[in-house]
Amino acid sequence: MAATLAPSVPISAAPRNSALAETICPEPSVSVVVCAYTESRWAELRQAMASLAHQRRPPLEVILVVDHCRPLERRARRCFHEAVVVPNQHERGLSGARNTGVERSTGAVVAFLDDDAVASAGWLEHLADAYQDPDVQGAGGLVHARWIDGRPSWFPREFDWVVGCSYRGLPDGPAPIRNPIGANMSFRREVFDAIGGFRSGLGRVGAVPLGCEETELCLRVADHFDGARIMHEPAAVVWHQVPPERATWRYFLSRCVAEGRSKAAVADLAGSAPALESERRYLRKSLPAGVLRALADGIVSPGRLRAAPMILAGVVATVFGYATGPNPSSLAEGLAGSPDKPISEPREAGGHAGVALRTAALGLVVALWAVSLPHVALEHMNDWGLLSVLPITFWLALAVLTVSFCTALGAARTPRWLLAAHVLTFIAILHATPAILYGTLRYAWAWKHVGVVDYVLRHHSSYVGGGFTAYQGWPGFFTLNGVLTGGSGFGSALTYASWAPVVFNLLDLVPLLMILRTFTADRRHTWMAVWIYYLLNWVGQDYFSPQAGAYFLYLTLIALCFRFLLDPRTEGRVVTNRGGRITALPRRHVPTRRVAHAVALVLVLAIVSSHQLTPYMLIASLAALFVTRARRTGLLTVAATVLAVAWAGLFGRAFLSENPWVLSSIGSFFSNASTGLNSLSPRPSQPQMLLAWVDRLLVAAAWSLALVGLWRRRRSWRRDLPLALLAITPVVLLVGNDYGGEMLLRVNLFSLVPIAFFAARALLPPRQGSRPSWAMPVMTLLVAVMLVGFTFAYYGKERANRFTHREVAAAKWLSDRPAGTLVSGLVPNLPWAFHNYERFQYDWMTEETPNQQRRLLAHPARYLASHFSQSGYRDAYLVFTKSQAADIEMTGLLPAHAPQRIERSVLRSPQFDVAFQNRDAVILRYVGPG
């Protein structure tokens, strides 16, 4: 034993550069990580370090990770000069310490030795031998128990795993195993690069240690490396110290129970069939043999007889732990923060060239984008919208960005900030481009919403009459913008409303990341899902609207439910610590819970009072989570339902009585669904017809990909259930209403996050190591195709959505007309109603009955004149704008050339005078027959 050797003996003469080491020795270079947390085991630690100093095959380096113990760290630095002494950079605990060690190590293989274990001289030599087989991703050796007070005679050798040692029943020779023992194990570096390190939080449930981190890691290895093997190498021996307090039957039984519970968790994580196969074999063969052996030994030595009942007691205790242990789902939920990867991310070092290259690519993207903007000739925009005028440099920028992002995902060590920078650039290009190019607010409804804010500012109230009850009944978005507009001194929300798509997409990114990170800790998966989310978010509900605001709050509330409303058994403790993914609220701390409940209620109230549809989407989602017991959302469901119904009853009555279709379409699922499909395109132009099909293809492709992804994650279905429910519940709302023909679009919006999550899983190729060479290019290509689909769907209608400054000038002139004026036009697709909204009555020709439309088209001027003369308004104006004509041409709401014919007819009529005119707009005043 090397106990007497000074710990400052040189540990390694091997080169510190792993690449160099690889060229010198055919076997992989091995870094050894030792984790220590207390000075009380200083003597044992010295022995462990000394044993490493006397390896026949010296390690490349020894990294001693000190787990949040400053005195030990100082002492270790003084004594172990040849070891790299580092503090644990992660959360307290063995997993965090091991991950710190992995991050600091440079060897091609990382071996782990416990601080109370001593390695045999040939330990590393034999471990390294195992890696000559390229399929071997990990290897462990034999762990002999060093009983300080001697081995108790009743302690069955079959149960040596209780004290963290090799037990009878393990293979005698080298053989593949599911997982090695933590005190003596090693893994290839690429394992950590590809799937990350050890997962925290797994090793405990309540106050009972479970310690199946290595099992969980090995299950992930098996999952991600096709044909991967973990080898048991009995020649690689370490001695693990067993203190007297562990040689008691009480410890024995408690560890058996804990092991049973950990097996329940492992079975849940990996599916019980593969996860527990070795346990079944052990139960079938090793334990009966052990009982017989104990009985036979008892003949020679009666004391050993006691091992037989202890085996049975151990089995009973383990089964008891398995059966009564943590609800697998609750544990899995607690762990859901890191199902694929650990808390610690693969380190950022080592990929400097890649990082520099991608940073340069981002610079190039921004430069290309900036160059392209001045060259957009908006006046030449045709039925293909922005697609027809965006220069080649714009498309190049998107192409470079897509390739850079996909390759960044493929690389093992792309830092998070770089992925985030890609996403932010992506959002900026997709959503800031129209705002920068147009210089005016895009989309007609956004103008109307600005008008409602203006109304609140002028009247200091959300309702003093005016007849736009949908907004007045659910005014939250507008009143808040009233505060922002009035408080900032802007005077009108027009100042900033153009930037709403950028702001809302950025806002949504935060809860989106939180939701995704609840279900995967795999950075690749998270960011790919984010990317796909933005690719699929073409429905255009990100403009200055209550829907956009309520959607952000909805996502946040869902994220909070996912992360906080865990099973009661998981609750009450911090499931993972700093850098972790889930923070359960402490159950016992009443003030904290009160604050949390109050926050949730305020969020619900804000959603309920600011949008008509979102509360019902929220209720459906919360109810689904509650009914399936995926999260404890029962109280919140009730609260949301009561508040939503009460609000609609108290403040939304006017709207509901004016719009009986809201209630009448309840229950007509197919009719509601088909309304959405048909209303997309009544008589569209050719390009618009194609664009509508692109929309549908995009939706179909997304759902298909999501199904593939769902299948690929089928083993974690229990963990993914809440997210899958979120994809389905919005569809159920089709039963409820057609939402003015828009329900399908809204369903698409609300199921976007889960769809993006599962679609990302389908798109992501296998991790490094077993990835075919074509996988990354194919993924990039698919993402690029989806991007093209997005640009078609999102930019394809811009000819109608963009308003010129001349149209805005006309609209401003109109908004200053006296109260009680009738404003009529072809279609409400113009900058309208943004000021003095309630002063005017609006009348749109496309909303006439088919019969009225026929009469209008036959004799436009005569029909309109008679219409105005009967209306009884003091003033009546007819507005013709470029964007109205474009809208009609694109959607086919009126026959081809109808706008021009109507305009010409009215211009010739003596009953109408031109009141305002510029190149893009004409406003005519009805003067009557006289």
Partner 1 sequence: MTSVDDRPPVLPRAWWLGLPLMAAGWLALAVQWLPTTTPLRPVLVFGFTLLGPGAAVVMLLPLVDRLERLMLSLAASVALGIVVSEALALAHMASSKTSIAILAGITTILVIARLIRSRSRSHRWEAPMERAR
Could you say which residues in the range 559-598 bind partner 1, by CB under 8 A?
559-560, 563, 572-574, 577-581, 583, 585-586, 588-589, 591-592, 595-596
Pick from 370, 510, 778, 914 the residue near partner 1 by CB under 8 A. Answer: 510
The single residue listed with the structure tokens 């080649």 is 392
Minimum gap (Å) between residue 805 Cβ and partner 1? 23
> What count of other Cβ atoms lies within 10 Å of the Cβ of residue 281?
11
Minimum gap (Å) between residue 747 Cβ and partner 1? 23
**Rule CB under 8 A: is residue 343 a binding residue for partner 1?**
no
Judged by beta carbon, residue 378 or residue 506, the one nearer partner 1 is 506
Range 205-244, binding partner 1 (CB under 8 A): 206-207, 209, 211
Judged by beta carbon, residue 488 or residue 704, the one nearer partner 1 is 488
Instruction: Name the segment binding partner 1 (CB under 8 A); options: 124-132, 399-407, 554-562, 696-704.
Output: 554-562
**Rule CB under 8 A: is residue 51 a binding residue for partner 1?**
no
Range 608-627, binding partner 1 (CB under 8 A): 609-610
**Rule CB under 8 A: is residue 435 a binding residue for partner 1?**
no
Which contiguous run of DSSP H or E holds residue 241? strand 229-242
Minimum gap (Å) between residue 204 Cβ and partner 1? 5
Using CA atoms, how far apart are residues 532 and 703, in angstroms rounded to an integer?
A: 12
Minimum gap (Å) between residue 769 Cβ and partner 1? 28
Using CA atoms, how far apart are residues 439 and 33, in angstroms rounded to an integer?
A: 59
Range 467-486, binding partner 1 (CB under 8 A): 475-477, 479-480, 482-486
Range 100-119, binding partner 1 (CB under 8 A): 114-115
Judged by beta carbon, residue 446 or residue 553, the one nearer partner 1 is 553
Range 352-381, binding partner 1 (CB under 8 A): none
Pick from 606, 638, 732, 782 the residue near partner 1 by CB under 8 A. Answer: 606
The single residue listed with the structure tokens 């153009």 is 498
Judged by beta carbon, residue 141 or residue 676, the one nearer partner 1 is 141
Q: Do residues 109 and 30 lie in contact, with contact meaning Cβ atoms separated by under 8 Å?
A: yes
**Rule CB under 8 A: is residue 465 a binding residue for partner 1?**
no
Minimum gap (Å) between residue 773 Cβ and partner 1? 35
DSSP-assigned letters across all residues of 760-781: HHHHSPPPTTS--TTHHHHHHH
Minimum gap (Å) between residue 478 Cβ and partner 1? 8
Pick from 451, 549, 687, 730 the residue near partner 1 by CB under 8 A. Answer: 549
How far are the Cα atoms of 198, 458, 481, 657, 658 from residue 469, in angstroms, in the given order? 56, 17, 18, 10, 8
Which letter, b or e, does each residue of 707-746 get, where b requires 16 or more Cβ atoms within 10 Å of its Cβ? eebbeebebbebbbbbbbbbbebbbebbbbbbbbebbbbb
**Rule CB under 8 A: is residue 91 a binding residue for partner 1?**
yes
The single residue listed with the structure tokens 């705002």 is 435
Minimum gap (Å) between residue 291 Cβ and partner 1? 28
Instruction: Name the segment binding partner 1 (CB under 8 A); options: 144-152, 224-232, 363-371, 504-512.
Output: 504-512
Pick from 16, 151, 204, 839 the residue near partner 1 by CB under 8 A. Answer: 204
Minimum gap (Å) between residue 555 Cβ and partner 1? 9
Minimum gap (Å) between residue 67 Cβ and partner 1? 6
Looking at the DSSP bridge assignments, the partners of residue 923 are: 879, 916
Minimum gap (Å) between residue 4 Cβ and partner 1? 24
Judged by beta carbon, residue 182 or residue 328, the one nearer partner 1 is 182
Using CA atoms, how far apart are residues 677 and 493, in angstroms rounded to an integer?
A: 33
Q: Computed from CA positions of residues 323, 326, 329, 332, in that sequence, does the dihedral angle turn out positive or negative?
A: negative
Pick from 384, 552, 794, 863 the residue near partner 1 by CB under 8 A. Answer: 552
Using CA atoms, how far apart are residues 553 and 649, in angstroms rounded to an integer?
A: 22
**Long-range CB contacts (< 8 A, 24+ apart) of 147-154?**
147/242, 147/247, 148/241, 148/242, 148/243, 148/244, 149/244, 149/247, 151/247, 152/247, 153/301, 153/303, 153/304, 153/306, 153/307, 154/249, 154/303, 154/304, 154/306, 154/307, 154/310
**Rule CB under 8 A: is residue 553 a binding residue for partner 1?**
yes
Judged by beta carbon, residue 325 or residue 769, the one nearer partner 1 is 325
Looking at the DSSP bridge assignments, the partners of residue 914 are: 924
Pick from 33, 72, 84, 97 the residue near partner 1 by CB under 8 A. Answer: 97
Judged by beta carbon, residue 161 or residue 225, the one nearer partner 1 is 161
**Rule CB under 8 A: is residue 490 a binding residue for partner 1?**
yes
**Rule CB under 8 A: is residue 514 a binding residue for partner 1?**
yes
Using CA atoms, how far apart are residues 39 and 56, in angstroms rounded to an integer?
A: 28
Number of residues engaging partner 1 in binding (CB under 8 A): 85
Half-sphere exposure of 501 (CA within 13 A, CB side): 24
Q: Computed from CA positions of residues 365, 366, 371, 375, in that sequence, does the dihedral angle turn out positive or negative?
A: positive
Instruction: Name the segment binding partner 1 (CB under 8 A); options: 75-83, 373-381, 488-496, 732-740.
Output: 488-496
**Rule CB under 8 A: is residue 642 a binding residue for partner 1?**
no
Pick from 173, 465, 489, 772 the residue near partner 1 by CB under 8 A. Answer: 489
Using the 8-state DSSP alphabet, how is residue 841 labeled? E
Token couple for 310: 């202890």
Judged by beta carbon, residue 376 or residue 494, the one nearer partner 1 is 494
**Rule CB under 8 A: is residue 248 a binding residue for partner 1?**
no
Minimum gap (Å) between residue 748 Cβ and partner 1? 23
Minimum gap (Å) between residue 228 Cβ and partner 1? 24
Minimum gap (Å) between residue 513 Cβ and partner 1? 6
Which letter, b or e, does each residue of 264-273 get, where b requires 16 or more Cβ atoms within 10 Å of its Cβ? bbbbbbbbbe
Minimum gap (Å) between residue 450 Cβ and partner 1? 16
Short-list 452, 643, 457, CA closest to 545: 452
Using CA atoms, how far apart are residues 91 and 204, in angstroms rounded to an integer?
A: 14
Instruction: Name the segment binding partner 1 (CB under 8 A); options: 86-94, 118-126, 633-641, 774-782.
Output: 86-94
> What count of other Cβ atoms lies within 10 Å of the Cβ of residue 782?
17
> Helices 752-763 and 686-712: crossing angle, nearest 10°?
70
In three-state secondary structure terms, 151 is coil
Token couple for 540: 């255009």
Single-letter amino acid, residue 503: V
**Rule CB under 8 A: is residue 408 a binding residue for partner 1?**
no
Minimum gap (Å) between residue 573 Cβ and partner 1? 5
Range 803-862, binding partner 1 (CB under 8 A): none
Q: Do residues 177 and 195 lie in contact, with contact meaning Cβ atoms separated by under 8 Å?
A: no
Range 128-187, binding partner 1 (CB under 8 A): 164, 182-183
Using CA atoms, how far apart are residues 159 and 423, in angstroms rounded to an integer?
A: 52
Range 54-73, binding partner 1 (CB under 8 A): 67-68
Judged by beta carbon, residue 367 or residue 483, the one nearer partner 1 is 483
Judged by beta carbon, residue 487 or residue 930, the one nearer partner 1 is 487
Token couple for 566: 């865990």
Q: Do residues 889 and 896 lie in contact, with contact meaning Cβ atoms separated by under 8 Å?
A: yes
Instruction: Name the segment binding partner 1 (CB under 8 A); options: 93-101, 757-765, 811-819, 870-878.
Output: 93-101
**Rule CB under 8 A: is residue 93 a binding residue for partner 1?**
yes
Minimum gap (Å) between residue 297 Cβ and partner 1? 29
The single residue listed with the structure tokens 């956004």 is 446
Pick from 3, 360, 602, 914 the residue near partner 1 by CB under 8 A. Answer: 602
Judged by beta carbon, residue 463 or residue 844, the one nearer partner 1 is 463
